[in-house]
């Protein structure tokens, strides 16, 4: 395993301390979460199951022998574990690099505690070096793109990607995200936008960041 994967593994290992017996665990999507799923396999007899944020994670959870439950048939989840493309010191995130942002935001919202697992390369002073993913209804793609240009962004259509919900992704470059809460609210109001990949209105409760100097929580 290369160093980047080792750091992701360490962050995932640290998140296991939040998993308690008989829990239904919300599970995110991505290469960092894939380590968490592998580790969760070792606890599968102790948890009741998982709610998944993507078809990809559902497949891995099932392969690991973990029961995957429908969010509609369970109540509020105690815990959601997911990665991020960027985090600031206030635990506000950019997510959606893996195009799973809509279900991720839903499962995070339905959870009491969102524990975000990252390697230290994801920590930034101000969000926005990573282009902001926005999931859009296909027929609204050009309209939404024009609104994003008017807001100062440079949207790029993510070619060849259809989300699990049948939608498309615009990756928005060059945004000023000094106030990510305002931007999330503003973009949420554009007709045709399904989900903005900013998790700032509701940030993570805990970020676990693994670096070469050790694992930190904030």
Give the residue numbers marked as catalytic: 104
26 belongs to the binding site for ligand 5RP (CB under 6 A)? no
Among 7, 52, 96, 180, binds ligand 5RP (CB under 6 A): 96
Q: Which stretch, 42-50, 77-85, 176-184, 188-196, contacts ligand 5RP (CB under 6 A)?
A: 77-85
**Residue 117 C-beta: closest distance to ligand 5RP, Å:** 8
Written as one string, the DSSP assignment of the chain is --HHHHHHHHHHHHHGGG--TTPEEEE--SHHHHHHHHHHHTTTTTS-EEEESSHHHHHHHHHTT--B--GGGS--EEEEEE--SEE-TT--EE--TTS-HHHHHHHHHTEEEEEEEEEGGGB-SSS-SSPEEEEE-GGGHHHHHHHHHHTT-EEEE-TT---TTS-EEEEEES---SSHHHHHHHHHTSTTEEEESEE-SS--SEEEEEETTEEEE-
Q: Which stretch binds ligand 5RP (CB under 6 A): 17-25, 97-105, 162-170, 183-191?
A: 97-105
User: Is position 171 an interface residue for ligand 5RP (rule: CB under 6 A)?
Assistant: no
State which of residues 4, 16, 17, 31 lies at the interface with ligand 5RP (CB under 6 A).
31
* Residue 95 within binding range of ligand 5RP, rule CB under 6 A: yes
User: What's the CA gap between 7 and 133, in Å, rounded?
Assistant: 24
87 neighbors 49 (Cβ within 8 angstroms): no
Among 77, 100, 108, 148, binds ligand 5RP (CB under 6 A): 100
204 is an interface residue for ligand 5RP by CB under 6 A: no
Q: Which of 34, 147 has the CB closer to ligand 5RP?
A: 34
In angstroms, the CA 129 to CA 173 distance is 8
Contact 36, 19 (CB under 8 A): no
Cβ 145 to ligand 5RP, closest distance in Å?
20
Tell me: does residue 203 bind ligand 5RP (CB under 6 A).
no
Structure tokens belonging to residue 59:
């497949």
Q: Which is nearer to ligand 5RP, 85 or 140 (CB)?
A: 85
Closest distance to ligand 5RP from the beta carbon of 103 (Å): 9
Note whether 108 binds ligand 5RP by CB under 6 A. no
Q: How many residues bind ligand 5RP (CB under 6 A)?
A: 17
Query: Does position 131 bind ligand 5RP by CB under 6 A?
Result: no
* Calpha distance 23→46 (Å, rounded): 8
Residues that bind ligand 5RP (CB under 6 A): 28-32, 82-85, 95-101, 104
């Amino acid at each position: 395993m290369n160093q980047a994967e080792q750091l992701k593994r360490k962050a995932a290992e640290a998140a296991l301390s939040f998993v308690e017996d008989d829990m239904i665990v919300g599970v995110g999507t991505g290469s960092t979460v894939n380590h968490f799923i592998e580790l969760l396999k070792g606890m599968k007899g102790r948890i009741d199951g998982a709610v998944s944020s993507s078809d990809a994670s559902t497949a891995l959870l099932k392969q690991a022998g973990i029961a995957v439950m429908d969010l509609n048939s369970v109540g509020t989840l105690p815990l959601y574990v997911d990665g991020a493309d960027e985090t600031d010191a206030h635990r506000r995130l950019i997510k959606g690099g893996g195009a799973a942002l809509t279900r991720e935001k839903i499962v995070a919202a339905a959870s009491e505690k969102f524990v975000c697992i990252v390697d230290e390369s994801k920590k930034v002073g101000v969000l926005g070096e990573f282009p902001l993913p926005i999931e859009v209804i296909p027929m609204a793609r050009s309209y939404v793109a024009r609104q994003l240009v008017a807001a100062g962004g440079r949207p790029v259509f993510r070619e060849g990607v259809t989300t699990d919900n049948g939608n498309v992704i615009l990756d928005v470059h060059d945004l000023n995200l000094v106030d990510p809460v305002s931007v999330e609210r503003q973009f949420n109001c554009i007709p045709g936008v399904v989900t903005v990949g900013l998790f700032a209105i509701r940030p993570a409760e805990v970020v676990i960041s693994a670096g070469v100097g050790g694992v930190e929580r904030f």
